[in-house]
Structure 1
C-alpha cells in the first residue's frame, strides 16, 4: 500500500515539474488571431499575453463599430488558438487528467 503511495507521490512531483516546464514553454510560443478581412491582427503568447496589435490603415477610416468588431474577432481568434495550444501541451503531460477541469 505505501509503495503505491510513494509511487503516486513521485508521479505527482514529476507532473508538477513537467507543468512548470510547459508553463515556461507557453510563454515563448506565439499565436495569431486575424479579423475576417485581415485588417486587424493580434499576436499573443500561448499563455494569453498580448504581444502585438496590428491595425491596417484602411480600417482606421471605418466607423468605430467596424474597428471594434475587427479587434474583437482577432482577439477571440488568438485566444482560441492560445487555449488550444495550451490544452495540447497540458494533455501531453497529464494524459488527459485535466480534461473538463476549469482553467485547464
Structure 2
C-alpha cells in the first residue's frame, strides 16, 4: 500500500512540474483583440497582463470620450478572455480535462 502512495506522490510531482513548465510557456504567448473595427487593439500575455494598447488617432474625439473608453474596455476584456481560454485549453490537455482551481 505504501508503494502505491509513493507512486501517486511521484506522479503528482511530475504533474506539478509539467504544469509549471506549461504556465511559463503560456506567459510567453501573446494574444491580440480589437474593438471598433480595429480602432482600438489590446495585446495581452498568458498571464492576462496587458502588454500594449493601440488607439487609432481618428477615434480620439474629445466630445465623445465615453465611446473611446468603451472601445478600450471591449478590446482589453476580449484579449483577456482569449488568454484565459488559451490557458484553460492548454491546462486541460495536461490534466486530461480535469478542472483544477487557481490555474487561470
TM-score (norm: length of structure 1): 0.90
**Partner in structure 2 of residue 95 of structure 1:** 96
**Partner in structure 2 of residue 74 of structure 1:** 75
Separation of aligned partners in 1, 2:86 and 2:36: 21
**Partner in structure 2 of residue 6 of structure 1:** 6
**Structure 1 ranges of 4+ moved more than 6 A:** none
Separation of aligned partners in 2, 1:40 and 1:48: 18
**Unpaired segments ≥5 residues, structure 1:** none
Query: Bigger shift: 53-62 or 39-48?
Result: 53-62
Question: Alpha-carbon deviations, 1:50-73, whole Å to 9, x = none?
Answer: 111000001112611100100011
Separation of aligned partners in 1, 2:58 and 2:36: 14
**Partner in structure 1 of residue 86 of structure 2:** 85
**Unpaired segments ≥5 residues, structure 2:** none
Query: When the two structures are aligned, how many residues end up with a matched partner?
Result: 103
- Check if 1:45 corresponds to 2:45: yes
Separation of aligned partners in 1, 2:86 and 2:96: 15
Provide the aligned C-alpha RMSD in A.
1.5
